[in-house]
Structure 1
């Protein structure tokens, strides 16, 4: 990171190189991993005045993918995400705070199934590079754990051996590649 000032500007998520995923325990003994394949987002970074930075992501619930069609359909339904009434999950920052030379916290409002809660996602800056098309590209990774019950997602099934089928804790994972927008061309 030779010159952080060069990072200041507006970025759009590159959906072909970004992963918005999740992990939760299943049957108390294994993990189910999934992702959302359709989303859009943008961020504005002001390196000199980080409090002016912002970001937002809109995720299409219909694009949930756990590599199991029956499970995906159940997750889209009323027991979980309620696709018909709530087709999008959104996250909008309320604060971006540096926590180290290559780390920051993105605090914001996460809305799932019509319920909004404030969460904080710790991110690590993974670097910047010029891609083959001449774009400035940056990478970030972050994750945080939420309780799905905080968003009104309470469905579960008891197991004969004790415990429940689906954990309340869900780890949200973000592997982000974003492309800097040419502000001079927007003129």
Structure 2
């Protein structure tokens, strides 16, 4: 598959624009409420080749940058109960395949690597007022957090658990073309 299926996306290296990118997640709390969070420190590159199958994404996320809007919850997520940011300051994603609509790669959290598949929507390419070429993508998927050793939980009196094992991932990504 050539890059022509992603109209306007040129080959080369693209860098994540952190001010216009959000790596977010949604978990269930008490099995009924959605809790949303995001990571505020995300870096990486996407290398686009003539053949999309040869495209590569390398992303690094600082685990201590988790933000849910609740300082106590954020402190708990950074603790050894969840991300253990002191021992594991980064999580990474390295792609293994891309077909234009599905991105597969290895997600590493707490030293554990597992394959993840994300559905991808290409938003397009635009040039900003300063002449910089930008591209946008949205990616969504779902993981089971326990696969990465994120197992902390509390049983509820009437059944169920405090925090869902299934976590939805929602990424809004803007890339800047490197010269």
Q: Same fold (TM over 0.5)?
A: yes
Equivalent in the alignment of 1:178 = 175
Q: CA deviation at 1:7?
A: 2.1
From 44, 51, 54, the equivalent of 1:52 is 54
Equivalent in the alignment of 1:43 = 46
Shift in alpha-carbon separation, 1:167–1:2, aligned structure 2, 3 A = closer
CA RMSD of aligned residues (A): 1.5
TM-score when normalising by structure 2? 0.94
Cα deviation 1:23-56 (Å, max 9, x = unaligned): 010001101000000110100112x311221011
Aligned residues: 176
Equivalent in the alignment of 2:81 = 79
Out of 115-124 and 4-13, give the one that drifted further. 4-13
* Structure 2 gaps, min length 5: none
TM-score when normalising by structure 1? 0.90
* Structure 1 gaps, min length 5: 99-103, 183-187
In structure 1, how many angstroms separate the alpha carbons of the residues matched to 2:138 and 2:5?
20
> Is the counterpart of residue 92 in structure 1 residue 94 in structure 2?
yes
